[in-house]
Amino acid sequence: MKERKPTSFDIAYRAGVSQATVSRALSDSPLVNEETRRRVKDIARELNYKVDKNARNLRSQKTKTIALLLNEDHGTGDSLINPFFLSMVASIIRASANRNYDLLVSFQQFSDDWHADYEDANRADGIIFLGYGDYTTYVKKLTHLDEQDAHYITWGPVLPGQPGVSIGCDNFNGARKAVEHLLTLGHKRIAFVGGISDGSPEFKRRYEGYSEALRAAGIEVDPALQMDAETSEDAGYQAALVLRERGAAFDAVLGASDLIAIGVMKALEEAGVHIPNDVAVMGFDDIPISAYTYPPLSTVQQNTRQAGELLVENLLKLMEGEKVESFLIPADLVIRGSCGGRPLSQH
Amino acid sequence: MKERKPTSFDIAYRAGVSQATVSRALSDSPLVNEETRRRVKDIARELNYKVDKNARNLRSQKTKTIALLLNEDHGTGDSLINPFFLSMVASIIRASANRNYDLLVSFQQFSDDWHADYEDANRADGIIFLGYGDYTTYVKKLTHLDEQDAHYITWGPVLPGQPGVSIGCDNFNGARKAVEHLLTLGHKRIAFVGGISDGSPEFKRRYEGYSEALRAAGIEVDPALQMDAETSEDAGYQAALVLRERGAAFDAVLGASDLIAIGVMKALEEAGVHIPNDVAVMGFDDIPISAYTYPPLSTVQQNTRQAGELLVENLLKLMEGEKVESFLIPADLVIRGSCGGRPLSQH
DNA sequence: CGAGCCATAATTATCGATAACAACCGAGCC
DNA sequence: GGCTCGGTTGTTATCGATAATTATGGCTCG
């Protein structure tokens, strides 16, 4: 019971073959006789033998493992992870499991330390980056990785000059479609709540899509209708309060994320504004919560399932030396009750 | 740029010392001179050297890694992961990161294969089990792990005869408290929706807590007020429909999970039953969604944050040979609108 | 002045697999 | 009969670190 873990030598001894043959037999090498293979495998199973991954990885210099590095936007050790991120994580876990790759998950919270960043490089064959703290240091990191030609892929927007391959959501067209839908419903004064000045390229793209849709409809983009907010319910709530204080009239709001939109809805409701009759609200992300709010939040869906698949699939391609292009996943509208396009009770 | 990754030999060469000294210097061994250490470290940083984890692990037989094995209850490859599980995963990711342990996450979907189960044993120093497919094969697995004295800890209920250490939620008292609260609010005919016949020990414990509270109040437990349901919104929805068809009158419902409770609320609302005025509803878990439903769902909170911490902390203790006792985390009520104990708009 | 000791560093063995290379053996061929 | 050849298997080198062992040089001290 307390005996040491069996090694390939133990099997070799019992099977009366060399250790190398054991290794070959277990990895289904065509070089080994069928009968021998069976015997070796039987003994292996009997001894409950399992190859030592460290030894294998060391020798073969492959790990069959990918690392997922989460970069929290805010260093709030206490807060929960953004639900959208969680969906992504789940999807990536599943996608890599499907491909028989192990997944090493970790936070990138101590990223000031140059060292720790690449620790994982030796533990995994490739890296998926989810989120970035400060965008510029993020790019610096990626550049560095590029120089050592590491294999990695990122989730998020692709800005000119950003190295590497990225899978992202079509933020621009997603937001554009959302605004077009609001316009179709007859809204003219549409506010945008989400920070566009700080380092978040996604929100900026969404704002551009928002602006584009307005301009295309001949409506001037009014800066007074834009409020900065980071992606949290509270930020959305506060932003909505300020927006109302400003006195700028608006009949619809596009939140740069669902959490923001939910905060906005809460603030408006508390102020006696009816959604969607007085003000229509749409979000962005389609986090699980959004289907259950009251009214259910209309939003722009980021397909996390597809995203996870693509991230893993393309990372594996990169690891095999294939050329891979960055790709934007189209964003589809999910119309629920909060924009008045559908009955309230649906989700 | 395309040069091979630097090894400790490269550093040794440049520093004019032996390779072993490099290893010691980098691991802050007291055996090496301060000046030498600095020189070695400088060169290491300059070359962007990172120890090869595989080599280190192979030699030292430790991995500084724990594995998280997710066992999905239903093999539905397509469905999303139970939100409660996701919260647990997030919490465990964070807890292990805090302790500087790497975390290997994977699904245990192909668990019919005896082999794959222990693959991770060589890749990690300990295992956390989250969820179990079939309870009996689950126990068999654990027993097997015990025999090889592997280090592992499980999340979930502890049944007599189950090996190993477990952290779980106090399902019994959680449900009891919920029912007591409903009784306090004046409800007498309280239904319980959740499967108690299939292999889910948690739901069974919750049902026992439910029964206990009723009996303590002198109310007979009516089997007609219990409906089986697995943990999904749809199952809750269906169960509520059947419950109403049965014609058994009830003025409150305790869902065995939040998802179930949410499904129940939906069914009741659609039938024109007002919540909480006509029927009070409570759930169990406190998943993020629950704060946002309409009305916001009162529920029994499982503290996932604490759970993750305890799982990791105790697993590390086990790995160090300490004796660890199984532990039940107390479950607290979160009163929101759905049971009528508080105003509707709060969350 | 040589034995003994401390601080430091270099050598060597080791972890457990896979890869490369060499060896064996019976069959077929000239 | 000797020789090549394909199918199998055994031998040896190797991955890159850490642990154990040994060596060195300066100092103390009897």
pLDDT in tens, A102-151: 999 988 765 445 445 555 667 899 999 998 777 787 888 888 888 777 89
Q: Indicate if A69 and A180 belong to the same structural domain.
A: no
Listed as ranges, the nucleotides of chain C within 7 A of a protein C-beta are 7-12, 14-20
Task: Inform me whether the C-beta atom of residue B299 falls under 8 Å from chain A C-beta atoms.
Answer: no
pLDDT of B342 = 54
Residue–nucleotide distance: B18 CA to C9 C1' (Å): 8
Residue of B nearest to A118 (CA): B50
Q: CA distances (Å), A2 to each of B145, B150, B162, in order?
A: 12, 10, 21
| pLDDT at A161 (0 to 100) | 81
For the stretch B106-152, pLDDT in tens is 886 554 454 455 556 678 999 999 988 777 888 888 888 887 778 99
pTM, two decimals, is 0.91
Instruction: Tell whether A344 is covered by a domain.
Output: no
Same domain, A195 and A108: no
Is residue B2 in a domain? no
Q: How many domains does chain A have?
A: 3
- Average pLDDT over all residues of chain A: 89
Same domain, B203 and B261: yes
Range of B45's domain?
Answer: 8-51
Task: Please check whether residue B117 touches A, CB under 8 A.
Answer: no
Q: In what order do the strands lie in the sheet with B280-285?
A: B226-227, B190-193, B252-255, B280-285, B298-301, B332-334
- The Cα A67–Cα A92 span in angstroms is 10
Segment (H or E) for A268: helix A258-270
- Give yes or no for A273 touching B (CB within 8 A): no
Three-state DSSP class for B39? Answer: helix
CATH of the domain at A267: 3.40.50.2300
A7 pLDDT above the threshold of 80: yes
Residues 6+ apart with CB under 8 A from A97: A103, B106, B107, B109
User: Is residue A345 one of the residues assigned to a domain?
Assistant: no
With respect to residue B3, please indicate whether it lies within any of the assigned structural domains.
no
Cβ neighbours of residue A204 under 8 Å, at least 6 residues apart? A196
Instruction: Judge whether residue A344 has pLDDT over 70.
Output: no
The answer to whether the Cβ–Cβ distance between A93 and B87 falls below 8 Å is no
**Do A162 and A190 sit in the same domain of this protein?**
no
Model pLDDT, residue B119? 56
Distances in whole angstroms, Cα of residue A142 to Cα of each of A137, A139, B31, B227: 9, 5, 37, 54
Asked if residue B336 lies in contact with residue B346, where contact means CB atoms within 8 angstroms, the answer is yes
| C-beta of residue A255 within 8 angstroms of C-beta of residue A193 | yes
Least CB–CB distance from A104: residue in B48, B103, B118: B103
Please identify every stretch of chain B with a pLDDT value under 50, giving residue numbers as ranges.
1-2, 75-78, 111-112, 114-115, 343-347
Check whether residue B126 and residue B200 sit in a common domain: no
The residue of chain B nearest to residue A4, with distances taken between CA atoms, is B148
Judge contact between B305 and B91, C-beta under 8 A.
yes
In this predicted structure, what is the pLDDT of residue A116? 52
- Tell me, what CATH number does A39's domain have? 1.10.260.40
Residue B139: inside a domain: yes
Answer whether any strand D atom is within 7 A of the Cβ of A32: yes
Query: Which residues from A are below 8 Å from B294, CB to CB?
Result: 292-294
Res. A343: pLDDT tops 50: no
| Surface of B (200-239) touching A: CB under 8 A | none
Residue B56 domain flag: no
Asked whether strand C has any atom less than 7 Å from the CB of A51, the reply is yes
- The dihedral over CA atoms of A172, A196, A191, A229, expressed in degrees to the nearest 10, equals 120
